[in-house]
Each structure stands twice: as structure tokens, then as C-alpha cells.
Amino acid sequence: MQKRNALTVGMVTLVTFVAFEAVAVTAAMPTVAQALDGLALYGFAFGGPFATGIVATVAAGTWCDRRGPARPILAGVVLFCLGLLGAGLATGIWTLIAGRLVQGFGGGLITVALYVVVGRAYPASAHPRVFSALSAAWVLPAVVGPAIAGLIVEHLGWRWVFLLIAIATLPVAAVIGPHVRPIGGTAGTPGTPGARAGARIPWAAGVAAGVLLLHWGGQHGGLALVAGGLLLVAVCGPRLVPSGTFGARRGLPSVILVRGLAGAAFMQADVFIPLLLTRERGLTPSLAGLTLTAGALLWSAGSWIQARQGQRFSPAARLRTGLSAIALGVLSAVALVAPAVPVAAVVAGWCVAGFGMGLASPTASTLVLQLSRADEQGVNSSALSVADSLLTTVVLAVGGAVFAALVAAGPVAYVAAFLIALLPAVAGALLAGRVAPGSTATAVGPDPRELSLSRAE
């Protein structure tokens, strides 16, 4: 038990640093782009690591299933830190982007490897609480990250936003390493799912190219590029997820689809709410950001409740409730377009949406492990991350293009952007009942993860 607690603390610390990087770098990037004369490549600096992260999640799934999660975690931390160091020492925008690409790949390895650690080092009964802890690790960075990043930029310089995170993150690998090293993988024979998954990497590269086209085209109004990106994602994306995912086949495919729909709906609205509050309601950026902070805090609360009280309800009920809560939050944003609606309405609504994500995200993560064989946990965990990234990217690209086309029409542009967020939320709520497989097998005897951990201890 003591070793499990130490492992949990190490994983939460690692996720906290990864989350702080995402929040802090986002806050610092306007200054970075201006300093390096790279405003024209601003979107690429975000889309690049997003794309390499997709390739990494696919590679990590294969690697973890065949060899265990220890090496992917170590490699992920090293690449994550090297990328940050490269970005922090960059002398030009392309050097910075190169560092961001490496950092994104490392982050993708870390994400999938941690899912596999949870699946193999903890009994099934502990999965909801561990995922709740990992989800809560995003809260503190979301609350204080932008302010800390601003202070670092003002008093130390933007380079230290990257450098300090790298310096703080690297030692975490030394803490986690001894606890994950005993966790093995499958033999990796030609018939295992992990071995077959290696063939997916070229398809992942195709998806990454599509994601870059979507980001670039969406920022620069290139509808042809957006269309090309969508085509690449549509052709290559289904190869990276279980068969039937985008057709909502019952069981694991629907779990992965519903989780992706939840993330896409939440992020699409999350992007446009601050814009609406600052441009149309006259709030300062800091006050507008408090809405997102409130949502992050309630996300943590929802995750905590589903881990401790939510198990009394079926996973389908928790997912349906979570997606419905996100839909209500999006509707509050739609209502805010009307001048008579007070800002407090969207603050309350986004708290409801954050609570819904707290219910849905850990529930889906737990279900993926429950519905996966031991030699498929890495592959299926990577599929969960890939589907989340794909659906979020597609919705953001489409939403951004529609908003740009309608922005001259005033409030209509915001209504369209929020309705695009509403569609996946409603679809996910309607499909939540399909996450239960048609038939389930009951394991006989003790949990093998308990036995292996006991021997390790």
C-alpha cells in the first residue's frame, strides 16, 4: 500500500507539471511570438505539439503493451524536458517550434503510459480514485498557472517559463521509475494486439498531418486546407481506434466515442466564452478567465464525487449525466449572447459543465481499462487519447472557420460557435447508454494485479 501511495503521488506530480506547462505556455506564447517575430506561426506553435502527441500516443500504446510502461514514461519525461529546454533557449520561431514538437511527443508518451500504470499496478476497485486524483492534478495549474506565468514573464523573462518547468519535471522520473519498473508487458509476439498496433503508426502520421492542416487553415481562413485536413483525419483516424468507434458500436467503441464528444464540446465552448465576455461584455481578461477557473474547480469536484459516491450509479448513467451537464453549460453560453442575461448565468452554467466533465472523464478512463484485456490496455488507452484529440481538433477547426465567416454578423457568430459545441454534447448524452457491452465476462479468482504488486512489494 505504501508503494502504491508513493506511485500515486509521483504520477499526480508529473501530471501537475504537464498541466502547468499547458497553462503557463499558453499564457506566455503571445509574448514569445512577438519576441521571436513569429506571430504568423502562432497557431503552428500549438498545433505542432498536438500533432506529434497523436503519433506518440499510438507509439506508446504499442510500446507499453509489449514492454511495459516504465521505458515509455522515462523516454516521455526526457523528451518533454528536452523539448522545453530547446524552446526556452530558442533564438528563432522555428527553433522554438522544433522544441515544441519534441515536447509534444514526450507528453503523448507520458499520457498513455500513465493509463497503463493505473491498469496494471492498481486493482480495478481503485481505478476511479486514481483517475480522480490525476484529474484533480489539473486544478491547481488552471487556477494559478496564468498568474505565475505572467509574473515569470515580467520579472525573469519568457524563456524561464519553459526552463523552470523542465528543471522541475525531470527529477520526477527518478521518483516514479522504481515503482513502474516491475510492471511488465506482453511478449509482443506477432499475434498480440500490441504487436499489430505497430502498423498504425503510419496512419497516425497521416492524422498528424491532417491536424496541422486543420490548425493552419483554421487560423488563416484557408477553407481548402481545412477541407484537406478533414479528409486526412477521416481517412486515417478510424485506423487508430477500435472498429466501430465512429459508428457507436456498443461497448468499448462507444466509451471512446462518448469521451471524445465530451472533450470536444467542452473545449469548443471553453475557447469562445472568454472571447464573448471580453469583446461583447467588456470584462477584463482576468475576470473572464475566472469563469474558466470556476469550471476547472467544479471539474475537480465532479471527479472527486464520481470516485467516492458515483459508483452507486452505472457508468452509463454517470456519462449521460456528465454530457447533459456539459450541454446545459453550453446553453448558458448561448443565452449570454442576449444582453439582458447576466454574466453570472454563464459562470453558474460553466460550473455545471465543469462538474459534468469531472463525472464523464474519469468514468470513461476507468471503463476503457475494465473493457480491455491486459495486452490491450496500452493500445486502447492510446485510442482514447487519439479520439479525444481528433474530435476536439475537428470541432475547434470547424467552429473556428464558421466563427471567422460570421464574425461580421456580430452575435450570430457566437451563437453558431456555441451551437457547434452543443451538438457533440447532445450526441454524447444520447449515446451514453451504448457504453455497456452486450455481454460481460466475470473474472474468477484474485485480481492478478494484486498478486503481482504483492510480489513486487
Mean pLDDT in order along the chain per 10 residues (457 residues): 75 86 76 78 72 86 82 91 93 90 91 84 82 78 76 87 89 78 59 54 88 75 80 89 91 94 91 82 74 80 78 88 96 91 91 93 88 79 85 82 80 91 96 78 35 33
Cell 454574466 -> residue: 343
CA atoms within 13 A on the CB side of 183: 33
Q: How far is Cα 254 from Cα 243, in angstroms, rounded to an integer?
A: 10
CB burial of residue 454 (10 Å; 0-12, 13-18, 19+):
exposed
**CA-CA distances (angstroms) from residue 137 to 52, 272, 303, 304, 360?**
23, 24, 11, 12, 16
Q: Could you tell me which of 447, 402, 368, 291 has the C-alpha nearest to residue 112?
A: 368
Q: What is the pLDDT of residue 201?
A: 83
- Contact present, 84 and 167 (Cβ < 8 Å): no
pTM of the model: 0.75
Q: Could you tell me which of 131, 116, 119 has the C-alpha nearest to residue 304?
A: 131
Q: Could you tell me which of 111, 136, 101, 116 has the C-alpha nearest to residue 386?
A: 111
**CA-CA distances (angstroms) from residue 206 to 70, 215, 230, 257, 394?**
28, 14, 11, 20, 15
Report which DSSP code applies to 375.
Answer: G
Cell 477521416 -> residue: 234
Q: What is the pLDDT of residue 457?
A: 32
C-alpha cell at 395: 470541432
C-alpha cell at 195: 504487436
Q: What is the pLDDT of residue 265?
A: 94
- CA gyration radius for the chain? 21
Q: What is the pLDDT of residue 381?
A: 82
